[in-house]
Amino acid sequence: MRSKERFNQYTSGIKRAEELGMIPTLSYNRISDMVQDEGNSREYQEESAKRYAEKTNLFIVDVFNIIESAKKEGRKAFNQMLDLALYFGIKDLIFKSSDRMSRNFPDLNRIEKLVDDDDFRIHFFQDHRVFTKDSTHTDRMYLGIETTINKHWSDKISYDVRQANKHKAMNGVAPCRSPYGYRYNKEKKLHEIDPKHEKHLRYIFDEFDTGNYSITQFINHLHDKGIITKSGKKWTKGNLHGLLTKIFYTGCFTYHGETFPGTHEPYISRHRYELRLRKLESGFNGNIQDTHTFLLTKFLKCGSCGRILTGDKKKELYTYYKHECTKADHQTYLPESKVFEMLDVAVRDMRYSPDFAENVKALAKKTLNERAASNKKRKAGIQEVLENIETRRDRVIDLWADSSIDSHVVKRKLSALAAEQSILSDRLKLTYRDYDQIIYEMCDLIDELRDNPITFLSASYEEKGKLLQLMAEGAVIHGETAQILWKEPYSFLLTNDILKTKRLYEAELGKKNRLSGLSPNSLSKLPRTDSNC
């Protein structure tokens, strides 16, 4: 509650109590956790305190329903209540019993000081007992004894819990609440995978372990995907880092600084977990690899389930790319040599014949010139709207100057106009392009595509890997074929439509050559453009 709201609540509550001829009071209802027996529930305490107040001419100004332990001093809500009582001059406090008030001596000492120095009255509604500065030494002794017993009971519970937790840990059951992705089975007495959150947790682990994200980037990615925490909140660096570094997901757990093997099913292997820790310790940049360097790290993706294929080394000689496909329900291993054969087939389709290259240049020039002409109309339209915004802005200011509208309306309208103006200005900037320069760059790119495939096909695996990382975002594996996802500007000239047109053009060219009497031998010398991609 905001301080202003609380101030108004207390002042109006005290005033109402005075009007009714009643005594203002505060009620404190404490439970240690969400699971409490009926006699200690917050609802029971609140209703009982209300009935007690009605019978004893007390008017409850505020109710503190709190989940906190009374074992140690420094309770935030408890001390906040006492501070508010002092500030507003409220002398009466209602508790269920001394056990609900305190289980430690520093808190009891503060209560006794308030009673003796500030005339506070402490009400225990369970036995209709009131502790005041006029209470006898016997009453004080009883309260001290009760606090001692309460403390002893708390200590005993803590000891019993520690012993039970130690026994659970020695038997492979983590003595803690089930983390995100698990639930506790009371009958089997073990943590088991929670199907409600399993899909999202596996996605988090698999996607982050690709190494494509920093912590901050991955948080934004999860927000875009609508994946939230177990409590329904958005991810932060702290809770995401805690999730990614929790050893529990490897099938182990830590208790009092010691690691124990658990009976619960793991989500990831210990090896994968340690690689992730190394990556996070490096600064969250996702650049730590295994002991081997793979040419197509983070480059290959399964066309069925979308998972990244990771490199693997067999007998320190044979390189494979593997992943566990969630769609096919099995692990796929692709030899590196097979992957490069599939990529070679896809790259062959890049090459343009001289005639087709000139046609593409002419088409690109025509398209860009048409777009430039169209942009002139767009610029004129945007300029007109911007001028209209200026007119509307002047009109709003004139209305304000004439006192026709107040300043709040003026600020709101001017803010809306400024936002609209900013969007249109950004659009206007996009229309100012040097189309001649773009045409020159496009022609150079087309010439590059006439030669690149030859360079690529004759290169070593290492050189091919570097070229692909430079020119492409990645490659999608579909069974026996690979689809390369080209980066800009290559993606503009390597779309399926252009590649399909190229194949049709070259097929027509081949037909004309055959009709012209060229021999099969001469045709075989033409650049290869066949592809299964």
Confidence of residue 62 (pLDDT cuts 50, 70, 90): very high
Does residue 213 surpass a pLDDT of 90?
A: no
More confident residue, 445 or 457: 457
Tell me, what DSSP letter sits at residue 404? S
Does residue 439 surpass a pLDDT of 70?
A: no
Largest CA distance in the chain: 125
- What does the pLDDT read at residue 448? 66
The CA distance from 365 to 248, in Å, is: 60
6-10, 94-98, 345-349: which range is least confident on average? Answer: 345-349
The candidate with the shortest Cα–Cα distance to 102, out of 142, 144, 133, 46, is 144
Does residue 316 surpass a pLDDT of 70?
A: no
66-80, 194-208, 490-504: which range is least confident on average? Answer: 490-504
Mean pLDDT of the chain: 79
When pLDDT is averaged across residues 44-56 and rounded to a whole number, the result is 91
- What does the pLDDT read at residue 368? 63
Does residue 23 surpass a pLDDT of 90?
A: yes
Q: Give 321's contacts (C-beta < 8 A, 6+ positions apart).
A: 294, 296, 300, 309, 310, 311, 312, 333, 334, 336, 339
Does residue 167 surpass a pLDDT of 60?
A: yes
When pLDDT is averaged across residues 294-315 and rounded to a whole number, the result is 81
Q: pLDDT by residue (tens digit) across 233-265?
A: 889 988 899 999 999 999 999 888 888 899 999
Does residue 284 surpass a pLDDT of 50?
A: no
When pLDDT is averaged across residues 23-36 and rounded to a whole number, the result is 76
Does residue 529 surpass a pLDDT of 60?
A: no
The CA distance from 487 to 475, in Å, is: 11
- What does the pLDDT read at residue 473? 85
Q: Are the beta carbons of 112 and 41 closer than 8 angstroms?
A: no
Q: Are the beta carbons of 282 and 303 closer than 8 angstroms?
A: no
Does residue 530 surpass a pLDDT of 70?
A: no
Q: What angle do CA 371, 374, 375 make, to 5 degrees?
A: 85
Confidence of residue 431 (pLDDT cuts 50, 70, 90): low
**Which among 22-26, 162-166, 493-497 has the top mean pLDDT?**
22-26
Confidence of residue 29 (pLDDT cuts 50, 70, 90): confident
101-105, 136-140, 239-243, 499-503: which range is least confident on average? Answer: 499-503
More confident residue, 74 or 163: 163
DSSP letter for each residue of 358-380? HHHHHHHHHHHHHHHHHHHHHHH
Q: pLDDT by residue (tens digit) across 395-422?
A: 878 777 776 677 777 777 787 778 777 7
- What does the pLDDT read at residue 515? 61
CA 308 vs CA 283, 305, 464, 488: distances in Å: 22, 9, 19, 22
When pLDDT is averaged across residues 46-67 and rounded to a whole number, the result is 91
Q: Are the beta carbons of 299 and 474 closer than 8 angstroms?
A: yes
Q: pLDDT by residue (tens digit) across 370-396?
A: 666 666 766 777 788 888 888 888 887
40-49, 266-275, 291-300: which range is least confident on average? Answer: 291-300
- What does the pLDDT read at residue 440? 63
What burial letters (b/e) apply to 456-474, b meaning 16+ CB within 10 Å?
beeeeeeebbeebbebbeb
Confidence of residue 168 (pLDDT cuts 50, 70, 90): confident
- What does the pLDDT read at residue 94? 95
The CA distance from 120 to 80, in Å, is: 16
The CA distance from 140 to 159, in Å, is: 28
- What does the pLDDT read at residue 409? 76
Query: Which residues sit opposite 258 in a β-bridge?
Result: 255
Q: Give 158's contacts (C-beta < 8 A, 6+ positions apart).
A: 71
Please provide residue 32's backbone torsions phi and psi, each rounded to the nearest 5 degrees: -80, -30
- What does the pLDDT read at residue 402? 72
When pLDDT is averaged across residues 213-219 and rounded to a whole number, the result is 86
